[in-house]
Amino acid sequence: MQEYASVAAPTLAQVYEERAADFTRTAEQTDDPVFRNLLLTLAFQWRLAAREEASKHSTQPKTADGVLIPVPLDQNPCAHWRSPMDMMRQG
pLDDT per position as a tens digit, 24-76: 999 999 999 999 999 999 999 999 999 888 887 766 555 655 655 555 554 55
Binning pLDDT at 50, 70 and 90, where does residue 8 land? confident
pTM listed for this prediction: 0.55
- What pLDDT shows up at residue 34? 93
* Other C-beta atoms lying within 10 Å of the C-beta of residue 17: 19
Q: Give the Cα separation of 76 and 54 in Å (integer).
A: 25
Show me where the domains of the chain are located. 12-90
What pLDDT was estimated at residue 10? Answer: 79
In this prediction, residue 37 carries a pLDDT of: 92
CA distance 38 to 75: 19
Q: Nearest-CA neighbor of 54 among 8, 7, 10, 14?
A: 14
User: What are the φ and ψ backbone dihedral angles of 70, each rounded to 5 degrees?
Assistant: -65, 145
